[in-house]
Structure 1
Amino acid sequence: MGRKREFDVDQALEAALCVFWRKGYEGVSYTDLTQAIGVERPALYSAFGNKEALFRQVLARYYERYLDFIPAALELPTSREVAAHILLSAADLNTRYPDRRGCLAVQGALAGSDDAEPIRLALIDARAEGEALLRDRFERAKRERDLPETTDCAVLAAFLLAVLHGIAVQAKAGFSREMLEAVAGQALSTWPVGSSAGS
């Protein structure tokens, strides 16, 4: 009768992920987390540590399970296909769940209090890693003449991320998937083409 409640760590992480995704890092209280997971606060601390530690675990899960389209995109044959796969997948993901629109990572990076600064910095670092991967992929595309020789790959990677993050913000604001796909199409219409195109 007095046995401690046991819970499935995987299910608990998914429940916490949904709460953080819906409310953002700063918008989530310990009460939100304990209610979503279905445990008392001591069990939450025991399993995950504090809110920041839990969010870091949730973020790793988010990148692995929900942003897996990014590493898949990097393997595609052309830079335009890379960009199209990323933007269209983001339009889908950011509108797939009516109760948690937008991007967990983008919302977390907008945190503003001093307490949330470590999380904001961790998200900035993660974004910088993603930007470096894109830049490297576009450098390869330039070597393969898929992009013009004059392409600034750092700027192109930053451009793609700016559109990607804009899609997340507009999804949170209520833009439809169709509109976000149209935005992606507009961005792709300006994509630079190298001399190997069509050869």
Structure 2
Amino acid sequence: MTIETLAKKRGRPVAFDYETALEKAMHVFWQHGYEGASMSTLMSAMNMNKASIYAAYGSKEALFKKALERYVQGPASFLAASLAQPTAVAVVQLMLSQAAQMLADQSHPVGCLVTQGALACSAESAEIKTLLGGYRQTLERQLAQRFARAVSEQDLVATADPVILAKLVMTVHQGMAVQAASGATQAELFNVATMATQCIAQVYTLKASA
């Protein structure tokens, strides 16, 4: 069944744009979290009725999963992209500096959809909390693997623990997300990112320890 057919059956305008509506849903979830995003708020933002949303995207949970995927591949894509940097310090520098820019960008909801979404989930939304936690754990694991490679390449000191270092970077990132949601500016977060990067470089790189 095509989108146009669904539109006609559900009374939705044929001009309905799947991606545009999903973008708006992403912003609602980003601002309010999964539980805080009521169907009435989603309906208003997406300019769709409940039946139309369910016909196009499935349940509210399915819509959230699609919105999360859009967030990961869009505004938060710098996180995965930073792993391709040539050195461990460059990975941290890009990840945290880009986070400072994105998390406090006033052109969209501030903070991190993943971090705030997980913090705001109750037991009733355990599956969503697990989903968000799984994304964080995957990124942390990828960071640890990248840092392990850096140790083997002698880019980081041999005593560096890749797992702990990855958790440190993720903790800084998540803290910046909470700070942004509380009103911290891009400049303030950039200072945090710079200091964290410098500290890691000072402690863990061979050049600094020589």
Does the 8 Å CA contact 2:92/2:169 hold for their aligned counterparts?
yes
Deviations 1:125-164 (A, max 9, x none): 1111101100000001001111100001000000000000
Distance in 1 separating the partners of 2:121 and 2:169? 25
Does the 8 Å CA contact 1:146/1:197 hold for their aligned counterparts?
no
Aligned to 1:5: 13
For structure 2, list consecutive stretches of 5 or more residues without a partner in the other structure. 1-9
User: Which residue, 51, 75, 78 being the options, matches 1:69?
Assistant: 78
Matched, 1:41 2:50: yes
Q: 1:121 to 1:59 in 2, by over 3 A?
A: same
Deviations 1:57-91 (A, max 9, x none): 00001000111112221111110110010001011
Does the 8 Å CA contact 1:131/1:161 hold for their aligned counterparts?
yes
**Deviation (angstroms), 1:118:** 0.6
Report the 3-state secondary structure (helix = DSSP H, G, I; strand = E; otherwise coil) of the residue aligned with 1:59: helix
**Deviation (angstroms), 1:8:** 0.7
Deviations 1:101-134 (A, max 9, x none): 1011111111232221110010111111101100
Distance in 1 separating the partners of 2:36 and 2:12? 29
Distance in 2 separating the partners of 1:126 and 1:112? 15
**Deviation (angstroms), 1:195:** 3.0
Does the 8 Å CA contact 1:142/1:194 hold for their aligned counterparts?
no
Please give the TM-score of this superposition, normalised by the length of structure 1.
0.94
Equivalent pairs counted in the alignment come to 198
Aligned to 1:109: 118
Instruction: Report 1:118-133 matches (<5 A).
Output: 118-133=127-142
Identity among equivalent positions (%) equals 37
**Deviation (angstroms), 1:99:** 5.1
Distance in 2 separating the partners of 1:149 and 1:60? 36
Q: 1:93 to 1:195 in 2, by over 3 A?
A: same
Report the 3-state secondary structure (helix = DSSP H, G, I; strand = E; otherwise coil) of the residue aligned with 2:145: helix
Q: RMSD in angstroms over aligned alpha carbons?
A: 1.9
Report the 3-state secondary structure (helix = DSSP H, G, I; strand = E; otherwise coil) of the residue aligned with 2:35: coil
**Deviation (angstroms), 1:197:** 6.9
For structure 1, list consecutive stretches of 5 or more residues without a partner in the other structure. none
Please give the TM-score of this superposition, normalised by the length of structure 2.
0.89
Structure number having the greater helix percentage: 2
